[in-house]
Structure 1
């Protein structure tokens, strides 16, 4: 499997870095992105010795010239990122905010200093249930989770897919009762932050409040696209569009182009997400495979040709607002 490597001079500059700035040097990716040797893939069964079902961002050791060229054991992205940039486990959440909102070094440190409780959960674990009154907000550091709603007759609809760096329940700071379920799709690592601490943070720091608002608006934009996807696209385009979105979102938080991506969703989950039956999903996957857009091994599906998927679905990433970072806005 390919590893994305950096040249030694850039690695030396990365080791000297302080808090994330989102700025670039000489055409390279911004610093938080440039230091990564990422492999953001969900392996096919047997590809990862310890836990083949785990979805992680993998890295090598600290980016010295020697370690970049070595076959050092991989560690989760969040652990590497925390060690390299000294902002702790919440680094990936800070990077997610920085992708669309500028934050000063002081603001970044304030987020990193939030008291939090770390917890690992297995796949198919309830994190939040509809009707819950909660006092803590989970932030996803590793793995994948989803939001879902259940109809009176028991049918489930997945209404959002969450990736590392996403805050999962900020709305509970202002809406005291949960109106949906949150469940782990894979094994996952979460940081639980008291809602009161989050509210104090956003009230005292306008730039962080703005970043949280932008993140909430982005979630609404994705939800609108999902409504369009389920309501107006045919089954093949619907599935292709979802795969394009997953590819783009994971590639963005990875910070480097993703050479290929193993889809972390089973056919039953894709059916619940797209309003189709598992049998119909299977037929559409076969059709996409015949067109060279995906490759299937057992129950796993790999995106192999993003251009074909874009053509089938008419995918545009406008709704992901990937160019939202305004250089003219300079937080104090």
Structure 2
């Protein structure tokens, strides 16, 4: 959590220590497990330690829209500190390690370290900024650009927490999950990834992806990292 918050907010040593000392319960999850469901009234938040999770909602007919992807360092249900009832569901999309911390412990920490309230508030505002960019991505870009944009975003976010090496990172997402994320069919996802490979913009090996032409991929996806609001070297 410290590294993620430090990428968006300047933490003092005392604040960083308070976060490290926050009591958490670590739980190992398999892929496809719900962490919190729509309609629940949680008393704790979850910190992603390893793996990927997603925020999703279902239509009446059971179709799923993935509305956000979360990576290590993220707190996908931070809003539950102030919103009593969850209006989304959160699930693992790869094997995960998740750290749960109690709302009352987080509130007590923020009372003793008021600037951490601002740090968490900034985190939720950036989540909202990402939602807005995703709305533009799905609503106004074609599939080729949508995938390019998403891959650019994931690289920047993962790099901020030290999980990128030479423009390569783990991407443990199935074609079906990618389809639910960017609003196209799984078959279309497969064709789009093949087109990006043919253009020399990506290289894939099982669950790992390499972006050999970073400038070209950013141009293809119309990607500008401004909306991620990262600080310093993380930007």
Normalised by the length of structure 1, the TM-score is 0.66
- Is 1:195 matched up with 2:106? no
By how many angstroms is 1:255 displaced? Answer: 7.3
Which protein has the bigger helix share? 2
Q: Distance between the aligned counterparts of 1:171 and 1:298, measured in 2?
A: 34
By how many angstroms is 1:286 displaced? Answer: 1.4
1:272-313 residue CA offsets vs partner (Å, 9 max, x unmatched): 000111111111111111101122446865433322211211
Gaps of 5+ in 2: none
Q: Distance between the aligned counterparts of 1:151 and 1:255, measured in 2?
A: 34
Q: Which residue of structure 2 aligns with residue 113 of structure 1? A: 21
Higher relative contact order (CA 8 A, sep 6+): 2
- Is 1:261 matched up with 2:169? yes
Q: Distance between the aligned counterparts of 1:256 and 1:118, measured in 2?
A: 24
Q: Distance between the aligned counterparts of 1:298 and 1:256, measured in 2?
A: 16
1:215-253 residue CA offsets vs partner (Å, 9 max, x unmatched): 111111111100000000111111110011111111111
Q: Distance between the aligned counterparts of 1:298 and 1:188, measured in 2?
A: 18
Q: Secondary structure at the match of 1:127?
A: strand
- Bigger Rg, structure 1 or 2: 1
Q: Which residue of structure 2 aligns with residue 312 of structure 1? A: 220
1:24-51 residue CA offsets vs partner (Å, 9 max, x unmatched): xxxxxxxxxxxxxxxxxxxxxxxxxxxx
Q: Within 5 Å, which residues of 2 pair with 1:155-166? A: 155-166=63-74
Distance 1:258 1:249, change over 3 A: farther
8 Å contact kept, 1:293–1:306: yes
Normalised by the length of structure 2, the TM-score is 0.92
1:58-106 residue CA offsets vs partner (Å, 9 max, x unmatched): xxxxxxxxxxxxxxxxxxxxxxxxxxxxxxxxxxx01111112112211
Aligned-residue RMSD, C-alpha = 1.9
Gaps of 5+ in 1: 1-92, 326-332
Q: Which residue of structure 1 aligns with residue 58 of structure 2? A: 150
8 Å contact kept, 1:251–1:258: no
Q: Which residue of structure 2 aligns with residue 209 of structure 1? A: 117
1:2-24 residue CA offsets vs partner (Å, 9 max, x unmatched): xxxxxxxxxxxxxxxxxxxxxxx
- Is 1:124 matched up with 2:28? no
